[in-house]
Amino acid sequence: METVSFTRMAEGTAEDYELLGRLEAELAAGVADRVMEELRALKDSFGGYKIDRLEHSLQSATRAYHDGADEETVVAALLHDIGDLLAPHNHSEMAASVLRPYVSEKIYWILRQHGLFQTYYYAHHTGGDRNARDRFRDHPYYQAAVDFCEKWDQSSFDPSYESEPLSTFEPMVRRIFAREPFSHEADR
């Protein structure tokens, strides 16, 4: 296995960083596979719901797909909870971060905020503020996040709903992660 010549990054050479760039490109080429593995890991997870988190993800994506949402939005609906197992207290941020290089600023923002927006449906039962999302009322993507949660996320816990199989969405996931990563205006 090839390795760099340095033990401190400041001592690296152009050849070292060329090697690392090549290896990083190889790693990035496998992101879609790892995302699909993480999605499949949601099977049989999270007791208490009538369905597991994989089925919730499939229902969310199926609803978006049947509503005619664009492919990026359908993939966002499918992957919005992939952070649940590793980051249960900030899963929205994790999912958003994974998809950020491959999706629009709008989809990134919706994913990042969907956990907060979802509390509208239950916070009043748990002592929270169901209207906490309203602090973003003037944000250009506010209504899109409301709609995402209303139409696809909060309504996708139904054991009698017939979801599309994962195979319907896997090619979409692969196309999204095959995109050339782009930077977002907020990063500049």
CATH of the domain at 51: 1.10.3210.10
Does 188 fall in a domain? no
Distances (CA, A) of 27 to 34, 129, 158, 166: 10, 41, 37, 24
Amino acid in the structure at residue 156: S
Q: Assess whether pLDDT exceeds 50 at residue 188.
A: no
Question: Cβ neighbours of residue 112 under 8 Å, at least 6 residues apart?
Answer: 92, 93, 96
* 134-184: pLDDT as tens digits: 999 999 999 999 999 999 999 999 999 999 999 999 999 999 999 988 776
Torsion over CA: 40, 43, 48, 49 (sign): positive
pTM confidence score: 0.92
**Domain assignment of residue 23, given as a range:** 13-183
Residue at 168 is within a domain:
yes
Q: Which two tokens stand for residue 1?
A: 């296995």
Q: CA-CA distance, 123 to 119, in Å (whole number)?
A: 5
In this structure, the number of other CB atoms found within 10 A of the CB of residue 74 comes to: 26
Look at residue 3 and tell me if it is in a domain: no
Q: Is residue 2 part of a domain?
A: no
Any domain includes 139: yes
> DSSP letter string over 97-157?
HHHGGGS-HHHHHHHHHHHHHHGGGTGGGTTS-TTGGGGGTTSTTHHHHHHIIIIIITT--
CB 98 within 8 A of CB 79: yes
First vs last Cα of the chain: how many Å apart?
A: 36
Q: Report the number of distinct structural domains present in the chain.
A: 1
Q: Is 6 contained in some domain?
A: no
Which tens digits make up the pLDDT trace of 1-59?
A: 899 999 999 999 999 999 999 999 999 899 999 999 999 999 987 778 999 999 999 99
